[in-house]
Amino acid sequence: MKQEFAEIILKNRHENHEALPPKHCIHQFILDLAELLFPHFSGEYTYFNAEEIDAHLALLQRDLKKILLPLKANLNQSIEEISTYFFDQLPGIYKKLLGDAEAIYKGDPASESIDEVISAYPGFFAIYTYRVAHEFYQLEVPIFPRILTEFAHYRSGVDIHPGATIGEALCIDHGTGVVVGETTIIGNNVKIYQGVTLGALSVDKNLSHTQRHPTIEDNVIIYSNATILGGKTIIGHDSIIGGNVWLTQSVPPLSMVYNTSEIKVRPKKLEFEEINYSI
């Protein structure tokens, strides 16, 4: 029995291993890139001139090529073309990330500086990883972008699919439990609190190539634990979606949507009165 099981494992490893990039190398790549872009992720090394940074970028590009090598047969472009394209896009990604950090800082009264946001806010790390992964998703690189965002999910509690389309200045406050589906479209200056789900109404596999997730237009605020579902659901610009709201239909611009659940408060009676809690 053990020998038979071992043969099955060996067969599957030989069939699949060569087509998969090593996960630990992917995780290290996103961390190494973060350390280069933002000193907040590492205080151990100081760059004294632009040439040193340029040299480090070249090393990261070399590492990326090695990571992508097992996927070579499944790529639409050469590894050289993909790696070159990504690093050509990196200045634009960096600019967007600085805008995200500023949006989080301005959107959270508890934040003391942009440096604090970059160093300590899980929402920023999730957005950073998404913006990197999204570039590879657009190039149709298999599995690599998903491993990147799942690493961010593990570290931050924020699950953003690399296929989502997200505009500038995204603020994810707290972040834990946020889910953003593959075909979600998010505009500029959107603020999302913890526990928000931007999901699909159906998990039918036949709908995998259609828009299944909602569109969130510019300047929308979505408070904690709101759930917005469906590819035809559009949240109009400058709207506010209250906490615990469940939405499967569109909302016009400049709307305020809130949950009307009732909360009752009564005077406390005897100290030792038995209270019938419903859990």
pLDDT tens sequence for the chain (279 residues): 678 888 888 888 777 666 789 999 999 999 999 999 998 887 666 778 999 999 999 999 999 999 999 999 999 999 999 999 999 999 999 999 999 999 999 999 999 999 999 999 999 999 999 999 999 999 999 999 999 999 999 999 999 999 999 999 999 999 999 999 999 999 999 999 999 999 999 777 777 788 999 999 999 999 999 999 999 999 999 999 999 999 999 999 999 999 887 777 878 665 555 544 333
CB count within 10 Å of CB 145 equals 24
**Strand, coil or helix: what is 140?**
coil
CB count within 10 Å of CB 252 equals 10
Contact 97, 128 (CB under 8 A): yes
Two tokens, residue 52: 């040193």
The rounded radius of gyration (Å) of the Cα atoms in the chain is 22
CB count within 10 Å of CB 106 equals 15
Domains and CATH numbers, the chain: 1-157 (1.10.3130.10), 181-260 (2.160.10.10)
pLDDT (0 to 100) of residue 206 = 78
Two tokens, residue 132: 């990197």
CA 118 to chain centre: 15
Two tokens, residue 53: 């940074």
| Strand duo 179-180 + 256-257: pairing | unpaired
Task: Give Cα separations from 146 to 48, 122, 176 (angstroms).
Answer: 35, 18, 19
